[in-house]
Amino acid sequence: MRLNIGSGSAYANDRLDTAAAMADSGRVTYMGFDCLAERTMALAQIRRMSDPDSGQDERIGALVPVLKNFLASGGRVVGNFGAANPDAAATDFAAGLTHLGITGTRIGIIRGDDVRDTVLAHDLDLPELGTTSRALGERIVSANAYIGADPVVECLQQDAQIVLGGRLADPSLFVGPICHELGWSLDDWDRVATATLAGHLLECGVHSTGGNFEDPPYRTVPDPHHLSFPLAEIDDEELVVTKLDGTGGAVDVRTTRTQLYYEIHDPTRYLTPDVTADFSGVRLEEVGPDRVRLSGARGTPRPETLKVLVGVDLGYKAVAEISYGGPGCVDRARRAEEVVRRRLEPIRDRIDELRIELHGVNTLFGDRMPAGEPAEVRLRLAARALDPEVAEAAAYEIEYLYFGPAGGGGVVTSVVPAIVVTPALLPRSEVPLSVEVISA
């Protein structure tokens, strides 16, 4: 048996027309939708805090019509559409299907990644923040464990055509369908590592077809404004990654190798909820135009702990910007920074974090890469405070720069809740998962 599985999304606001091209191609029977990143989950939690019926992927209503023909032909969809609220995502899918006159679709809902109560009950180390969960207490507003392919397989075994969950790990969206369809055991570590390799090459969408590879003028691909999502053809003997015919970009050894090591801290021990994968011996071979065969992935047992994304309420974040252009623009921007810092002195002890920088001059590298005078520069302030009035006051000082130094313009300001996310580790046994398959 050979399975063809395609990418449908790489983040929460990915292009629906690219997903539609994959769905309508006739090339795949499964599509995996990765809709989450750390930032996305934080934003979803903010939405759910203000509306308990929110927190799911916001594109579902627009996505269902895109998938209509794919679902009607028997295609199956797996995605972490649930974000902070899997049940709300299921409701949205059901409503969208009903609106199209489609009935009887089986939707698998995966619950259990929400582990806030468990995190609050333990004193988990939060190394990025230099504290623990117990010390933060009720400032912890969310905690979601990265969960693996096991519940996805369970839903598929119950004939779910749509499978959705919360913080399903990116490659696991593909590991589940691959192992289910090919009959691979979830403790056959080499095969799960191969499925994870396929998932890793699909989860980031157009990264694998040349998007993230491009570094002009040194590395380019043809027609980069018309990239396809990638797809994988996989069976017991081989894994081939390719793209849709007639689309831009490229799938070759160069682009595939670039994605292979993207976001992997250690190629010999890539830790996922499903396996500890070793990609160091992976071999790549071009076997046709835009076709790369991969082999050599190895696996050992999965970690005993799961990564948890902990959301912490740190008050409010103010961001404000203003532009200066023409001769002397850097000097005027630096003078504006001096003015703002002096004006903020009376409330500085109530600002927990403050950063003021000049875009195009010192944002990324500080003063380590001096350059000539730019034609224009943008002064940016970012401040965080527990008190929203303090955050507003910080943003206001950038707005007031309209009155000098000379030539400032294009002010934008915002003040939003500051929900930061930070990692922790939780024993796998502390994350009980459940699935329910409903008929919509």
Note whether 65 and 93 are within 8 A (CB): no
The vertex-78 CA angle with 68 and 178, nearest 5°, equals 120
What is the predicted pLDDT for the residue at 313? 93
What is the predicted pLDDT for the residue at 372? 75
Whether residue 98 is found in the same domain as residue 173: yes
Whether residue 383 is found in the same domain as residue 340: yes
Does residue 157 belong to any structural domain of this protein? yes
Q: pTM for the full model?
A: 0.93
**Of the candidates 278, 303, 328, which is a domain's last residue?**
303
Which stretch of DSSP H or E encloses residue 392?
Answer: helix 388-399
Whether residue 265 is found in the same domain as residue 358: no
What is the predicted pLDDT for the residue at 64? 98
User: For residues 118 and 433, what is the distance between their CA atoms, to the nearest angstrom?
Assistant: 13
- Terminal alpha carbon distance of the chain: 30
Token output for 51: 């509306």
Sign of the torsion formed by the C-alpha atoms of 68, 70, 73 and 77: negative
Q: What share of the chain is helix, strand, coil (3-state, %, to 5)?
A: 35, 30, 35
Write the CB contacts of 237 (distance below 8 Å, at least 6 apart in sequence). none
Whether residue 269 is found in the same domain as residue 342: no
Does residue 127 belong to any structural domain of this protein? no
Local structure of 433: helix, strand or coil: coil
For the chain, what is the largest distance between any 2 Cα atoms, rounded to a whole number of angstroms? Answer: 70
User: For residues 296 and 41, what is the distance between their CA atoms, to the nearest angstrom?
Assistant: 33
Q: Which DSSP string do the residues of 165-177 spell out, in sequence order?
A: -SSB-TTHHHHHH
Does residue 362 belong to any structural domain of this protein? yes
Note whether 385 and 342 are within 8 A (CB): no
Does residue 88 belong to any structural domain of this protein? yes
Please give the DSSP secondary-structure letter assigned to residue 215. Answer: B
Note whether 240 and 285 are within 8 A (CB): no
Give the pairing type, strands 162-164 and 76-79: parallel
Note whether 167 and 42 are within 8 A (CB): no
Q: Which DSSP string do the residues of 17-85 spell out, in sequence order?
A: HHHHHHHTSSS-SEEEE----HHHHHHHHHHHHH-TT--S-TTHHHHHHHHHHHHHTT-EEEE-TTTT-
What is the predicted pLDDT for the residue at 357? 96
**Of the candidates 303, 338, 361, which is a domain's last residue?**
303
Residue 64: Cβ within 10 Å count: 23
Residue-level length of the chain = 440
Does residue 372 belong to any structural domain of this protein? yes
**Of the candidates 240, 272, 303, which is a domain's last residue?**
303
Domain tally, the chain: 2
Does residue 139 belong to any structural domain of this protein? no
- Residue 380 sits in a domain of what CATH number? 3.30.70.100
Local structure of 202: helix, strand or coil: helix
Q: CA nearest 402: which of 316, 320, 319, 318? A: 320
What is the predicted pLDDT for the residue at 155? 98
Sign of the torsion formed by the C-alpha atoms of 47, 357, 310 and 144: positive
Does residue 121 belong to any structural domain of this protein? no
What is the predicted pLDDT for the residue at 254? 96
Whether residue 296 is found in the same domain as residue 379: no
What is the predicted pLDDT for the residue at 365? 78
Please give the DSSP secondary-structure letter assigned to residue 216. Answer: T
> Cis (ω within 30 of 0) for the bond into 230?
no
Q: pLDDT tens digits for the chain (440 residues)?
A: 899 999 999 999 999 999 999 999 999 999 999 999 888 888 898 899 889 999 999 999 999 999 999 999 999 999 999 999 999 999 999 999 999 999 999 999 999 999 999 999 999 999 999 999 999 999 999 999 999 999 999 999 999 999 999 999 999 999 999 999 999 999 999 999 999 999 999 999 999 999 989 999 999 999 999 999 999 999 999 999 999 999 999 999 999 999 999 989 999 999 999 999 999 999 999 999 999 999 999 999 999 999 999 999 999 999 999 999 999 999 999 999 999 999 999 999 999 999 999 998 888 777 777 767 899 999 999 999 999 999 999 999 999 999 999 999 999 999 999 988 999 999 999 999 999 999 98
Buried b (16+ CB within 10 A) or exposed e, 124-151: bebeebeeebeebeeebbbbbbbbbbbb
Whether residue 33 is found in the same domain as residue 92: yes
- Residue 253: domain span: 3-112+147-303
Note whether 82 and 40 are within 8 A (CB): no
Whether residue 352 is found in the same domain as residue 402: yes
Whether residue 104 is found in the same domain as residue 190: yes
Helix 172-182 vs helix 150-157: angle between axes, to the nearest 10 degrees?
50
Note whether 164 and 93 are within 8 A (CB): yes
Write out the E strands in 165-269. 230-234, 239-243
Whether residue 363 is found in the same domain as residue 397: yes
Does residue 132 belong to any structural domain of this protein? no
Phi, psi of 359 (to 5 degrees): -65, 130
What is the predicted pLDDT for the residue at 197? 98
Q: CA nearest 111: which of 175, 67, 154, 57? A: 154
Whether residue 248 is found in the same domain as residue 392: no
Which amino acid does the sequence have at 407?
A: G
Whether residue 107 is found in the same domain as residue 211: yes
Q: CA nearest 166: which of 95, 105, 79, 94? A: 79
* Residue 262 CB burial class (10 angstroms; 0-12, 13-18, ≥19): middle
Whether residue 282 is found in the same domain as residue 201: yes
User: For residues 398 and 417, what is the distance between their CA atoms, to the nearest angstrom?
Assistant: 19
User: For residues 113 and 10, what is the distance between their CA atoms, to the nearest angstrom?
Assistant: 20
